[in-house]
Amino acid sequence: METKVQKQVIDYFSTFEEFHNTSKTCLKSCQNCAVSINKLIQRCNNIKQADLSGTLLEEFVDLRSKLSTNLHNLISEEIYEIRSKALVIEDSFDKLCNKEVLTATRK
C-alpha cells in the first residue's frame, strides 16, 4: 500500500514538474517574441517617420509600404508563435488538472 501511494505522489509531482518546466520554457519564448515585436514596431515607426525626400530612396515607389508590410508579416509570425506557446501551456495545464482529478477519484 505504501509503495502504491509513494508511486502516486511521485507521479503527481512529476506531472507538476513537467507543467512547470513547460510553462517556464514557453513563457521565456513568449517574452523573447514580445521583445522582437517591440523592436519591429520601432522599425515601423522609424520607417513611417523617415524623410526620404532628396535621397536616392525617394525614387523607389511604395518603398515604405513594402517595408511596413514585411515588418507587419514578421510581427504576425511572432504573434502566431505566442499563440502556439499559449496552447502548449494550456495543454500542459489540462494534463495537470486531469492528473489531479484522477488522483482525487482514486481516494
Q: How do the domains of the chain map onto residue ranges?
A: 63-99
Residue labelled with grid coordinates 522599425: 43
pLDDT tier for residue 97 given thresholds of 50, 70 and 90: confident
Question: Phi-psi region for residue 53, left (φ > 0), alpha (ψ -120 to 50) or beta?
Answer: beta
Q: 80 with 33: CB under 8 angstroms?
A: no
pLDDT tier for residue 15 given thresholds of 50, 70 and 90: confident
Helices 63-106 and 2-49 sit at what angle, rounded to 10 degrees?
Answer: 170
Per-residue cell: 10: 511521485
